[in-house]
Amino acid sequence: MESKYYENIKTLIFKITEEIDEHTSQKIRGKADYEIKRYMPKKIIFDFDSVTFMDSAGIGLIIGRYKLANIIGAKVELQNLNNSIRKIFDMSGILKLIPETKEEDILPKIGA
């Protein structure tokens, strides 16, 4: 997983670059929690562009970071969900809590 913090818009973006299962979700969770506490962003974006597989561990991963974000007053967004991952998030109810946004919505703000 890669992370990038944009100070000008107080946004932390996590680009997940691997499959999400029980093993990888623990690694991602540790790094994400560290970065969130380090930067205290106002917005946290999880980019799933490179994720080809996710099991139920991914649901726990996102819900846990959503709870942490609420504690610090940040919003969470999901981006670049493929159809299978979107279906998992939809069936679990996560998309009712966390919006799926388009990458184009953030690019002008970060100067990309």
Please, which pLDDT band fits residue 104 given cuts at 50, 70 and 90? Answer: confident
Virtual CA dihedral for 88, 91, 102, 60, nearest 10 degrees?
Answer: -60
Annotated domain spans of the chain: 2-106
CA pair distance 80, 84, nearest whole angstrom: 12
Token pair recorded at residue 112: 């990309």
Token pair recorded at residue 91: 């069936």
pLDDT greater than 80 at residue 109: no
Please, which pLDDT band fits residue 112 given cuts at 50, 70 and 90? Answer: low
| Top CATH class, 2-106 | alpha beta
Side by side, the strands of the sheet bearing 43-47 are 2-6, 11-15, 43-47, 75-79, 100-101
Percent of the chain with pLDDT over 70: 93
User: In this predicted model, what pLDDT tens digit does every residue of 8-60 receive, in sequence order?
Assistant: 999 999 999 999 999 999 999 999 999 999 999 999 999 999 999 999 999 99
Q: Which residues contact 2 (CB under 8 A, 6 or more apart)?
A: 14, 15, 17
Query: Which secondary structure element, helix H or strand E, spans residue 78, and what is its range?
Result: strand 75-79
> Which residue is it, tokens 């966390």?
98
- Residue-level pLDDT at 102: 86
CA pair distance 47, 2, nearest whole angstrom: 10
- Residue-level pLDDT at 103: 78
